[in-house]
Amino acid sequence: MNIDNIKKQFPIFNNKVHNNDLVYLDSANSSQKPQVVVDRIYDFYTKEFSNVGRSVHYLAVAATNLYENTRSMMQKYINAKDPNEIVFTKGATEAINLVANTFGQKFLEEGDEILLTELEHHSNYVPWHYLRKLKGIKINFAEINNDGEITIESIEKSITPKTKMIAITHLSNVTGAILPIKEITSLAHSKNIPILIDGCQGAPHLKLDMQDIDCDFYAISCHKMYGPTGLGVLYAKKKWLEALPPYQGGGGMIREVKKEGISFGDLPNKYEAGTMATAQVIAFGESIKFLNQIGIENIEKHESELTKYGEEVLRKNNSVKLVGNPKNKGSVLSFTLDGIHAHDIATILDEDGVAIRAGHHCCQILHDKLGLTATARASLGVYNTKEDLDKLNESINNCKKIFDR
């Protein structure tokens, strides 16, 4: 795997940041886009544009086929059983809201419980919180251990007879912990509890097989997978998509509309109301091709080596404290520096062209638990190299120098 060649496919790296080469270490937030994805959006709008699924003219039929083609590619990419188990949404956030809203409506009653973990991103907490107000349900949080991991024991301990749904992250966007989702799924199913995986950080880095994992729902954010913004995917088992009510109402998702009543369309249209992010869906097909060309196994290997290297480099740096120490860790290096606030770190690193994120990374529950208000986070993508991590370390030392003056 030649990273130079891969990096060349990303036009962003032709630009300088404050006169420095860009060291992009913010892929957990959003990944950069390869040229093929950018071109595909341009080509679609300039040569092929039409709305999908509504008209019978040439362009409309062609656009519909392209749109549905990405659905089939995604089905294969994550090994779902049926293309209709792939629902396009505006992001992972909408995917989780869709499940919380429709599942809550139909299956939850006062006193029922949802089990989350302390690692969850706000988008896998706030949608469930609404049900607290609306339905009087209770939310429980499985606790992390000292290494910032969630173990199967921690989940098992937190399940009660009232647990009606388990919703957990695949890979923590702060500690990098990879959760044993297959084992947790099997535990959940042994107690007849459905499970939703927030796969935002899993999907760009790990090989996915929905039939093997056997989870009920898996939420994906396409802009973190080298794809366009404004697009996400909800994988859901067909039995759920059939059983749950529709989410949003509007054009495209109905069968028959009368003054007296309405009947809803079949899958996948039932959950895709209104004009969808057509260009993004079509361009996302190129992201899947891009990932397939490199091979997700190769990406996993490359990023896992880089993560280990990054941990080593930062551990050797006495001023750096890594956040969490999970045995099974993916692509995320969060840290603090004694006496320097994360936002000051990020601003100073930025001057060197090193792009990281600082703050609570939409995980306030976790930061409260760790007793931290903010952390700095370097996160990796397929285009990163060991040199990037050396630059990170150098820039951290520069930061120390400025503050120690």
Count of positions on this chain that bind another protein (CB under 8 A):
19
Burial of 230 by CB count in 10 Å (0-12 exposed, 13-18 middle, 19+ buried)?
Answer: middle
- Give 10's strand partners: none
Measured from the CB atom, is 64 or 375 closer to ligand PLP?
Answer: 375
Using rule CB under 6 A, residue 117 touches ligand PLP: no
Rg (CA), the chain: 22
Which distant-in-sequence residues (6+ apart) come within 8 Å of 285 by Cβ?
40, 66, 69, 70, 73
Using rule CB under 6 A, residue 200 touches ligand PLP: yes
Using rule CB under 6 A, residue 336 touches ligand PLP: no
| Least distance in angstroms from the C-beta of 363 to another protein | 12
For residues 145 and 154, the answer to whether their CB atoms sit within 8 Å is yes
Q: How crowded is residue 252: how many other Cβ atoms within 10 Å of its Cβ?
A: 16
Using rule CB under 8 A, residue 405 touches another protein: yes
Q: 353, 358, 352: which is closest to 333 by C-alpha?
A: 358
| Least distance in angstroms from the C-beta of 15 to another protein | 18
Using rule CB under 8 A, residue 342 touches another protein: yes
Interface positions, 368-387, toward another protein (CB under 8 A): 373-374
d(CA 189, CA 327): 26
Is the bond into 245 cis (omega within 30 degrees of 0)? no
Using rule CB under 8 A, residue 343 touches another protein: yes
Q: 30, 221, 18: which is closest to 10 by C-alpha?
A: 30
| Least distance in angstroms from the C-beta of 174 to ligand PLP | 9
Measured from the CB atom, is 16 or 182 closer to another protein?
Answer: 16
Tell how far CA 105 is from the center of its chain: 25
- Put residue 195 in one of left, alpha, beta given phi > 0 → left and psi -120 to 50 → alpha: beta
| Least distance in angstroms from the C-beta of 20 to ligand PLP | 26
| Least distance in angstroms from the C-beta of 305 to ligand PLP | 22
Tokens of 39: 């071109």
d(CA 24, CA 32): 9
Binding letters toward another protein, positions 232-271, x by CB under 8 A: ----------------------------------------
Which of 215, 222, 362, 399 is labelled catalytic?
362
Residue 194 DSSP one-character state? -
Q: 70, 65, 35: which is closest to 50 by C-alpha?
A: 65
| Least distance in angstroms from the C-beta of 43 to ligand PLP | 24
Does the active-site annotation cover 200?
A: no
Q: Are strands 86-89 and 232-236 parallel, antiparallel or unpaired?
A: antiparallel
Binding letters toward ligand PLP, positions 209-248, x by CB under 6 A: ------------x-x--------x----------------
Binder among 351, 355, 369, 394 for another protein (CB under 8 A): 351
Give residues in contact with ligand PLP (CB under 6 A).
91-93, 121, 123-124, 169, 173, 198, 200-201, 221, 223, 232, 362
**Residues acting as catalytic residues:** 362
Judged by the rule CB under 8 A, the positions of this chain that interact with another protein are 339-344, 347-348, 350-351, 358-360, 367, 373-374, 402-403, 405
